[in-house]
Amino acid sequence: MRNPRPFFFLLAAAALAFGVFLRAGAGLAPPPSDPYQFHNVVIGGGGFVTGIVFSPAEKGLVYLRTDVGGAYRKDAHSKAWVPLLDWANQTDWNLYGVESLATDPLDAHRVYIAAGTYTNPTTPNGEILRSVDRGDTWERTPLPFKLGGNESGRNNGERLAVDPNDGRILFFGTRASGLWRSGDYGTTWDRVAAFPDYDEALPAPTNPRWRAPQKVGINIVIFDPRSGRRGAPTPVLYAAVSTPNASLFRSTDSGATWNPLPGQPLGLRPTRAALSTTGVLFVSYGKEAGPSGMTDGAVWKWDTSSGAWTEITPEKPGPGHAFGYGSVAVDPRHPDTVLAGTWSHGNPFDEIFRSTDGGRTWTALLGQAQWDHAPAPYTKTMNHHWLADLEIDPFDSDHAIFPTGYGIWVTHDLGVADHGRPTLWSFEDQGIEETVPLSLVSPPVGCHLLSGLGDIDGMRHEDFRVSPPAGRFGTPAFKNTGRLAFAWNHPEIVVRSGNTYHNDLVTAGYSKDGGVTWKAFAGEPPGTLGAYWRGEGPIAVSADGKTVVWSPTGVAPHLTEDWGATWFPCVGCSANLAVAADTVNLSKFYAYDTEAGTLVMSTDRARSFRAVAGGLPVVKGRFGPAPGKLSTVPGRESEFWVIAGGVLLNSHDGGVTLRALPNVSASQIGFGKEAPGRNFPALFLVGKVSGTEGIFRSDDYGSTWLRINDARHGYGSIGVITGDPRIFGRVYIGTFGRGIIYGDRKS
């Protein structure tokens, strides 16, 4: 192997220039804009809805929160859900994990969000978002601690609450920083020093991705409006802690002092609570906080007048059938009507129990229920699970909602259960798009878009206005489809890599009809079998569809020419190498080797690789070097673009020479149809141009850029972007929790 041509000097110069440019960014004019219209590619749901909040101040006003996809408000006229946080850009990606949501019981226009996705050291602190126009616009209060909207116990709540007698006052229970209070509509906050110390008794982590147990902390705050009068702070409120020890606390002096409730059950963790209009506190319990699982649980009620505790568990877990209870609700109009939801019930799904006598007797609802899957046909293959909440409309006792790990189910005939008839549940997720697209490809023929999705496999999108009638990709069924690639000369040949649904084992498959049907590869590269929580790894296919190269995470690339019956190692490659196929030359493949900091090329159908340029950054990932980002240009031999340390590089000769674009930093890049009169594809970029963050298009191969998004369309973290090779200007954006966005030029 000859020594690769060193490139470090050019990259360093570009990085230095870019750094100087950032410090002096105020002197550079922002790029011009090309206004776009953005819409979701409709799937419907697709992610974990962690809470439902009905406003008691106005009929028909309801909100929901998600773990990574922000928050939504139901539009009373269109009946669709309206996303409320699309304005948050990549810098503000952390706000899309909603820890809790609260409405003002006295003012229908006021709504609050506790936003923050993770508590790890590299994630920014959380914020309280405040709105006086139902979430159309927001003001922000930074918090001195982190939130965990996508961590353990995110299904619990609500931990944020507004005083029902004095809307200036809010309380917020945190994961590790105690109880906090605001007296000015959430603008400023102070810690409640009097809240008792507690032992959360954290269990050992069961998820191999977590190195330490995640704290849940104070997960429930509830006011008792009967104890106060309008215009003054409510004296009595309750707070719960996710602990098997004494977990329920009460204050009778508006939060100044706190004491544990006497006689409360021990040994289980509270998950949800509901207070009836007659003063009965209903509490659901699980041995674990969720959502990874629960192995025991119960439902109790406490009479606030007599102080008596009564267990009202509908179905008790037992040997051979371990489960817990994740939710409980009480009808505001009929205080003896109670709902309780199981967690990890299985056999074959979670269940909702209904009582009309305060929990003395119960009726199971879901086993005999009817289901309307029409809005999202893929849900036919999904069991209702992760039943995080149950809510009854305060203005309509027949209207109830429960969320799952993939969306919400709604009934408008809850009362028919009183007459022994089955309830009808509809997947009313219109507008809710919470998938995490991991890969998007737009072939030059056939359907315009194929998606690889987290948790729900992937889909073939022919009509963006409706959820695909065929549902998920199908056999072989994946949990995650992390990578997709098609053969440029035969785009009906598509390959995909991912993880199996039940045990997260790495796997891959292929299609010869544009993703309509799929087959599993006959085998996997050596070292892949049994891989768990490591990742599917990059996969590529030659332009003629005859050579497939796959490098599962932690494994060096291997090639097959017989659909996986035999695999051969690619000589000269590091592990985790993201190989890309030339779109013209059938023998050429390229990769950015982040372990060695080199660009490598093969001219013998991936049998061997040699370095052609060196000195690029070494990029670390969870399992060693992370796959590099190299994208080959459609229809142009030996041309590709590379993102190295945020610098955008272009080569016209297989990496022998490289050009760094000035005043540009990139996290994602894709290609679309060329502009009229041009002979090279349009470029789409996620990053910064002249110091401006956004989504951009270039029609002259990177010489100039147009910003195509605006302040209302940031979409948080964007993990993939590509254009449409048949429609000039069309762009597809894969977000971390807001689904697939497609955009077209307004003009």
pLDDT digits (tens, 9 = 90+) for 305-325: 999 999 999 999 999 899 999
Question: Among 410-414, 498-502, 720-724, where is mean pLDDT lowest?
Answer: 498-502
Beta bridge partners of 433: 45
Interval 67-93: pLDDT, tens: 999 999 999 889 999 999 999 999 999
Q: Tell me, what's the pLDDT at 430?
A: 97
Catalytically annotated residues? 67, 455
Query: Is the separation of the CB atoms in 270 and 200 below 8 Å?
Result: no
Q: Tell me, what's the pLDDT at 311?
A: 98
Cα gap 698→675, rounded to integer Å: 9
Token couple for 123: 């994630």
Highest mean pLDDT among 130-139, 552-561, 570-579: 130-139
Q: Average of pLDDT values for 591-609? A: 96
Q: Tell me, what's the pLDDT at 646?
A: 95
Enumerate residues 6+ apart whose C-beta is below 8 A from 424: 369, 370, 371, 372, 411, 412, 413
Enumerate residues 6+ apart whose C-beta is below 8 A from 698: 682, 683, 685, 704, 705, 706
pLDDT band at 1 (very low <50, low <70, confident <90, very high): very low
Burial of 542 from C-beta contacts in 10 A (0-12 / 13-18 / 19+): buried
Cis peptide before 291 (omega within 30 of 0): yes
Query: Is the separation of the CB atoms in 330 and 392 below 8 Å?
Result: yes
pLDDT of 723 strictly over 60? yes
Q: Tell me, what's the pLDDT at 207?
A: 59
Q: Tell me, what's the pLDDT at 3?
A: 53
Sole residue written with tokens 């966005």: 741
How many C-beta atoms lie closer than 10 Å to residue 500's C-beta?
14
pLDDT of 533 strictly over 50? no
Cα gap 117→133, rounded to integer Å: 24
Cα gap 617→682, rounded to integer Å: 27
Give Cα separations from 130 to 56, 139, 309, 606, 620 (angstroms).
18, 5, 37, 55, 38
Token couple for 298: 């119960």
The sign of the dihedral angle between the CA atoms of 179, 180, 181, 186 is negative
Q: Tell me, what's the pLDDT at 266?
A: 98
pLDDT of 23 strictly over 50? no
Cis peptide before 674 (omega within 30 of 0): no
Q: Average of pLDDT values for 683-712? A: 97
Burial of 2 from C-beta contacts in 10 A (0-12 / 13-18 / 19+): exposed
Computed over its alpha carbons, how large is the radius of gyration of the chain?
27
pLDDT of 502 strictly over 80? no
Cis peptide before 348 (omega within 30 of 0): yes
Give Cα separations from 329 to 100, 352, 561, 635 (angstroms).
17, 11, 57, 58
Give Cα separations from 269 to 150, 156, 298, 339 (angstroms).
19, 10, 10, 19
Cα gap 564→656, rounded to integer Å: 32
Nearest to 300 by CA among 335, 270, 320, 261: 270
Query: Is the separation of the CB atoms in 68 and 434 below 8 Å?
Result: yes
pLDDT of 651 strictly over 60? yes
pLDDT of 206 strictly over 80? no
The sign of the dihedral angle between the CA atoms of 516, 520, 522, 525 is positive
Cα gap 653→598, rounded to integer Å: 15
Rounded to 10 degrees, the C-alpha dihedral 511/545/533/668 comes to -110
Q: Average of pLDDT values for 450-477? A: 95
- Please tell me whether residue 55 adopts helix, strand or coil conformation: coil
pLDDT of 623 strictly over 50? yes
Token couple for 207: 């998820």
How many C-beta atoms lie closer than 10 Å to residue 349's C-beta?
15
Q: Tell me, what's the pLDDT at 504?
A: 72
The end-to-end CA distance of the chain, in Å, is 52
Interval 28-67: pLDDT, tens: 889 999 999 999 999 999 999 999 999 999 999 999 999 9
* pLDDT, the chain, mean: 93
Interval 343-385: pLDDT, tens: 999 877 999 999 999 999 999 999 999 999 999 999 999 989 9
Q: Where are the beta strands (DSSP E) in 488-623?
A: 490-500, 506-511, 519-520, 539-541, 548-550, 558-560, 568-569, 580-581, 589-593, 598-602, 610-614, 620-621
Where are the domains positioned within the chain? 5-37+435-745, 44-426
Interval 328-340: pLDDT, tens: 999 999 999 999 9
Interval 221-279: pLDDT, tens: 999 999 999 999 999 999 999 999 999 999 999 999 999 999 999 999 999 999 999 99
CA 714 to chain CA mean position, Å? 15
Residue 286 is inside which H or E element, if any? strand 280-286
Question: Among 447-456, 534-543, 700-709, 724-733, where is mean pLDDT lowest?
Answer: 534-543
Give Cα separations from 535 to 96, 628, 668, 714 (angstroms).
24, 15, 20, 28
CA 703 to chain CA mean position, Å? 34
> Quick one: what percent of the chain has pLDDT higher than 90?
87
- Which CATH superfamily includes the segment(s) 44-426? YVTN repeat-like/Quinoprotein amine dehydrogenase (2.130.10.10)
**CATH of 5-37+435-745 given 3.30.43.10, 2.130.10.10, 1.10.150.20, 1.20.970.10:** 2.130.10.10
- How many residues in total does the chain contain? 747
Enumerate residues 6+ apart whose C-beta is below 8 A from 398: 411, 412, 413, 414, 415
Query: How would you label 589-620 residue by residue, b for 16+ Cβ within 10 Å and e otherwise?
Result: bbbbbbbbbbbbbbeebbbbbebbbbbbbebe
Q: Tell me, what's the pLDDT at 8?
A: 43
How many C-beta atoms lie closer than 10 Å to residue 479's C-beta?
19
pLDDT band at 25 (very low <50, low <70, confident <90, very high): very low
> Quick one: what percent of the chain has pLDDT higher than 70?
94
- Please tell me whether residue 379 adopts helix, strand or coil conformation: helix
Enumerate residues 6+ apart whose C-beta is below 8 A from 386: 48, 155, 290, 291, 326, 343, 350, 403, 404, 405
Query: DSSP code of 406?
Result: T
How many C-beta atoms lie closer than 10 Å to residue 246's C-beta?
17
Cα gap 733→219, rounded to integer Å: 34
